[in-house]
DNA sequence: CGAGCGGTTGAGGCATGTCAAGAGTTGTGG
DNA sequence: CCACAACTCTTGACATGCCTCAACCGCTCG
C-alpha cells in the first residue's frame, strides 16, 4: 500500500474515529490491488472475505438474475463498498466490476468483524455508515416504485445539477448505457426519453446536460428530500450513483 | 407496559445481548400505546423520535410521492421498525399505518442512541440488525429491477409456500390489494396475473393459494437465495413482506 | 481502413396502467 | 334482522409505457 493512501482511508467516516493503533492494525492485514478496466472482481454469491475501498478509478455494483443484469450503484474514490456482507459474513448480493482501471484496498472481513468488538468508536461509525447506506437503498426503492422512467430521468438530471452547485450545464458522470441500467430502463428508452425531455426544460448535447428551464424540469421531477436525499450536497462521490455498503 | 411484554422484547436479536440493567433503563423511558385500525401513526418526513416495536397487530410501511403511494413492508409482532432513522436522528423515509388494531412500544430514539455508546454488546446487535435490514432492501431493489411483475408474483407465492414449510396450499397473509402495492403493480394487474398463473402451476381460490405444479412454478420464479433470501426459513414474521428497520 | 462500441432512430409488440362496471363480502345502523 | 354503504376483487375495453429487434451513424482504436 502506498504511504499517501493511508491518510485518505483514515479520513473516511468509517475509520475516522477509531484509535490510531487499531487503524494501523487493520491496515497491517490489508493490501492494495490494481485491477484493469472491465474486470469483474466480485461475483454475487461469493463469500464476503474482504471489505473493499476504492482509492482510484471507479467500480460498478450490479446484480444479475437469470439472463438479466442491472446496475445498482457506482462507487468512486474514496469510499468503501459491500460492508454489510462483510459484517454478516454472508455472500455478496451484488457483483462488482471496474469501469476503468482501479486501485482497491482489501481489508479482511474477519479482522473487520473482530475490530468493532474491540473499538467502540469504530462500532458507532459502522452503525452510522450502515444506517446511512440503508436509507440510501430505501430511497432507491422508492424512486423505482413511485416514479416512472421519465420522472426518474428528470430527477436524476436535476439532482446532478444541484450536486454540482446548481449549475445550468454539466457533463454526465457516466455513460448513458450505464445510466439507463441504473435507472431501470433500456438504453433505447433513455435515449428517446432524453429527446422528449426537451419540452420539459432540459436538453442534451452528447454527454452534456443543459438545463433550459429549471422551473419546468422541477415541475416534472418534483424533487423530494425523502427520495433524492437531503445529504445530496454532502455526497463526495460525484457520480450521482450513490455508493453502497451492500 | 404489560409485564408479559418485556420478555418478548428482550428476546429480540436487537435487545438480547445487552445487560439487564441497560435493558431495564431503556424500557423505563419507553411506553406502550394502542392504535386503532387504519391509523397513520408515522408520516414520512417527521422527525424520528421513537423506535417502534410492534407487539400486537400489524403495521404497513409505505411511501408516498406526489399522488402515488406504495407499500414497502409489513411489520408483524414481535419486531422493530424505523431503526435507521432513529440512529441517524433523521426524518422518517416511510409512513406507517396500522393494518389492524395494534399495540406498539415506543422507545425514545435519544435514549437508543445514548445506549449503543454505553453498551458494546448492544452496538454489535444494532450493527447486525442494520446490516441485515440493508441486505433485505437490496434484495427488494433487485427483484424490482430484474424481474417483471409476473415473475415477482410467482416468486412471492413460491416463497410463501416455502416459509410455511413447503406446503402445497396456504392462505395469503395480506389482502391482494396490499400485495399488489408491495409487488409494485396495480390490483387489477395482480388479479389478471394470478389468473394467467394457472398455466404455470399455481391456482387461487379466494385468498387461498394452491400450488398445482411446483416444478412449473419454480421454472417461472427461478428462486434465488441472493434475492429471495437465505434467511427465508428464519423469518419469524410470516407476512412474507419483510420487516424493515428503515 | 475496418471492427467494435456507444448512441440514436424507427417499427412493432407486449406488458402494464387507467377507467368503468359489476359481483361478492363485510360492517353498520336503523 | 335486514338494508344499505363501503370495500375488495374481478373483468373488460382501451390507452400507453416500455421493451425488442434491427438498422444506421459516428467515434475510437487496433
DSSP string over B101-116: SEEEEEEEHHHHHHHT
Taking CB atoms and an 8 Å limit, are A63 and B130 in contact across chains? no
* Residue A240 in domain: no
Instruction: Please report the pLDDT score of residue A235 as a whole number.
Output: 40
CB-hemisphere CA count at 13 Å for B85? 29
B198 CA to D4 C1', in Å? Answer: 36
CB of residue B191 closer than 7 A to nucleic acid strand D? yes
**CA of B65: which chain A residue's CA is closest?**
A146
* Residue B242 in domain: no
Count of all residues that appear for chain A in the document:
246
Q: How far is CA A211 from CA A158, A170, A202, A228, in A?
A: 8, 9, 4, 18
Q: Mean pLDDT throughout A146-174? A: 96
**CA of B43: which chain A residue's CA is closest?**
A226
Do A39 and A115 share a structural domain? yes
CA dist A226 and A94 (Å) reads 25
Instruction: Please report the pLDDT score of residue A237 as a whole number.
Output: 47
Residue B41, judged by CB atoms within 10 A of its CB (0-12, 13-18, 19+), counts as middle
* Residue B183 in domain: yes
Q: Which residues of chain A between 178 and 197 are close to nucleic strand D, CB under 7 A?
A: 184-186, 188-189, 193
CA dist A182 and A152 (Å) reads 10
Residues sharing a CB contact under 8 Å with residue B65, sequence separation 6 or more, in sequence order: A142, A146, A147, A222, A224, A227
Q: Are A77 and A4 in contact (CB under 8 A)?
A: no
∠ Cα B80 B179 A84 (to 5°): 45
Question: Which residues in B lie closer than 8 A to residue A116 (C-beta atoms)?
Answer: 123-124, 127
**CA of B73: which chain A residue's CA is closest?**
A138
**Average pLDDT of every residue of chain A:** 93
Do B93 and B162 share a structural domain? no
* Residue A233 in domain: no
Do A165 and A98 share a structural domain? no
* Residue A246 in domain: no
Q: Are B66 and A222 in contact (CB under 8 A)?
A: yes
Four-residue CA torsion sign, B2, B4, B6, B12: negative
Ramachandran angles phi, psi of B27, nearest 5°:
-70, -30
Cell of A128: 452510522
CA dist A47 and A222 (Å) reads 40
Instruction: Please report the pLDDT score of residue B233 as a whole number.
Output: 38
By residue range, what is the domain housing residue A154?
Answer: 148-227
CB-hemisphere CA count at 13 Å for A132? 20
Nearest to B146 among A68, A116, A222 (CB): A68
- Three-class secondary structure of residue A41 per DSSP: strand
**DSSP code at position B44:** T
CB-hemisphere CA count at 13 Å for B108? 11
Four-residue CA torsion sign, B136, B142, B143, B149: positive
CB of residue B210 closer than 7 A to nucleic acid strand D? no
Q: Mean pLDDT throughout A94-121? A: 96
CA dist B110 and B47 (Å) reads 12
The partner residues of A210 in beta bridges, in order of sequence, read A169, A203
Domain boundary residue, one of A96, A117, A142: A142
CA dist B110 and B48 (Å) reads 10
Do B56 and B101 share a structural domain? yes
The partner residues of A99 in beta bridges, in order of sequence, read none
CA dist B124 and B186 (Å) reads 40
Instruction: Please report the pLDDT score of residue B1 as a whole number.
Output: 80
* Residue A239 in domain: no
Taking CB atoms and an 8 Å limit, are B147 and A83 in contact across chains? no
Nearest to B107 by CA among B188, B51, B176, B167: B51
pLDDT in tens, A46-95: 999 999 999 999 999 999 999 999 999 999 998 999 999 999 999 999 99
Do A124 and A51 share a structural domain? yes
Do A92 and A204 share a structural domain? no
**β-bridge pairing A59-65 and A50-56:** unpaired
Quote the radius of gyration of chain B (alpha carbons, Å): 19
For residue A7, pLDDT over 70 is answered with: yes
**DSSP code at position A99:** S
CA distance B168 to chain A (A): 25
Do A136 and A160 share a structural domain? no
Query: Where residue B44 sits, what CATH number does that domain have?
Result: 2.60.120.10
Q: Tell me the mean pLDDT per 10 residues along chain B, length 246.
A: 90 96 97 94 97 96 95 95 97 96 96 95 96 97 97 97 94 97 98 97 96 96 92 47 61
- Count CB atoms within 10 A of the CB of residue A111: 17
Do A155 and A107 share a structural domain? no
Residue A233, judged by CB atoms within 10 A of its CB (0-12, 13-18, 19+), counts as exposed
For residue A221, pLDDT over 90 is answered with: yes
Q: Are B91 and B85 in contact (CB under 8 A)?
A: yes
Taking the alpha carbons at both ends of chain B, their separation in whole angstroms is 24
Quote the radius of gyration of chain A (alpha carbons, Å): 19
CA dist B206 and B176 (Å) reads 10
Do B83 and B175 share a structural domain? no
Interface test with B, best of A43, A93, A227, A229 (most B CBs within 10 A): A93
Domain boundary residue, one of A116, A142, A168: A142
Do B183 and B109 share a structural domain? no
**CA of A221: which chain B residue's CA is closest?**
B66
Nearest to B137 among A65, A68, A137 (CB): A137
CB of residue A197 closer than 7 A to nucleic acid strand C? no
Taking CB atoms and an 8 Å limit, are B226 and A72 in contact across chains? no
pLDDT in tens, A16-30: 999 999 999 999 999
CA dist B11 and A115 (Å) reads 26
* Residue B240 in domain: no
Domain boundary residue, one of B127, B143, B159: B143
Q: State how many domains chain A has.
A: 2
Q: Are A112 and A196 in contact (CB under 8 A)?
A: no
Do B96 and B11 share a structural domain? yes
Instruction: Please report the pLDDT score of residue A125 as a whole number.
Output: 96
For residue A181, pLDDT over 50 is answered with: yes
Chain D footprint bases within 7 A of protein beta carbons? 8-13, 17-22
CA dist B172 and A12 (Å) reads 46
* Residue A244 in domain: no
Instruction: Please report the pLDDT score of residue A245 as a whole number.
Output: 55
Nearest to B137 by CA among A218, A87, A136: A136
Nearest to B183 by CA among B207, B201, B163, B159: B159
Query: Where residue A184 sits, what CATH number does that domain have?
Result: 1.10.10.10
**DSSP code at position B47:** B
Do B165 and B114 share a structural domain? no
Amino acid at each position: 500500500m502506498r504511504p499517501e493512501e493511508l491518510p485518505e482511508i483514515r479520513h473516511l467516516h468509517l475509520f475516522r474515529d477509531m484509535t490510531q493503533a487499531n487503524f494501523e492494525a487493520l491496515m497491517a492485514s490489508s493490501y492494495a490491488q490494481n485491477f484493469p478496466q472491465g474486470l469483474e472482481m466480485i461475483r454475487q454469491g461469493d463469500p464476503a472475505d474482504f471489505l473493499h475501498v476504492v482509492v482510484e478509478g471507479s467500480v460498478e455494483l450490479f446484480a444479475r438474475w437469470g439472463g438479466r443484469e442491472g446496475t445498482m450503484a457506482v462507487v468512486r474514490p474514496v469510499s468503501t463498498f459491500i460492508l454489510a456482507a462483510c459484517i454478516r459474513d454472508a455472500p455478496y448480493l451484488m457483483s462488482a466490476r471496474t469501469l476503468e482501471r482501479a486501485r482497491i484496498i482489501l481489508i479482511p472481513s474477519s479482522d473487520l468483524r473482530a475490530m468493532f468488538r474491540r473499538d467502540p468508536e469504530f462500532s458507532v461509525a459502522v452503525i452510522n455508515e450502515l444506517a446511512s447506506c440503508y436509507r440510501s437503498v430505501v430511497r432507491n426503492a422508492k424512486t423505482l416504485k413511485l416514479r416512472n422512467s421519465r420522472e426518474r430521468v428528470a430527477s436524476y438530471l436535476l439532482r446532478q445539477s444541484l450536486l454540482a452547485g446548481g449549475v445550468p450545464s454539466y457533463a454526465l458522470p457516466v455513460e448513458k448505457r450505464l445510466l439507463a441500467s441504473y435507472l431501470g430502463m433500456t438504453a433505447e428508452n433513455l435515449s428517446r426519453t432524453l429527446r422528449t425531455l426537451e419540452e420539459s426544460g432540459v436538453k442534451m448535447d452528447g454527454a452534456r446536460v443543459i438545463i433550459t428551464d429549471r422551473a419546468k424540469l422541477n415541475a416534472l421531477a418534483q424533487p423530494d428530500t425523502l427520495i433524492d436525499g437531503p445529504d445530496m450536497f454532502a455526497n463526495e462521490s460525484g457520480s450521482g450513483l450513490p455508493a453502497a455498503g451492500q
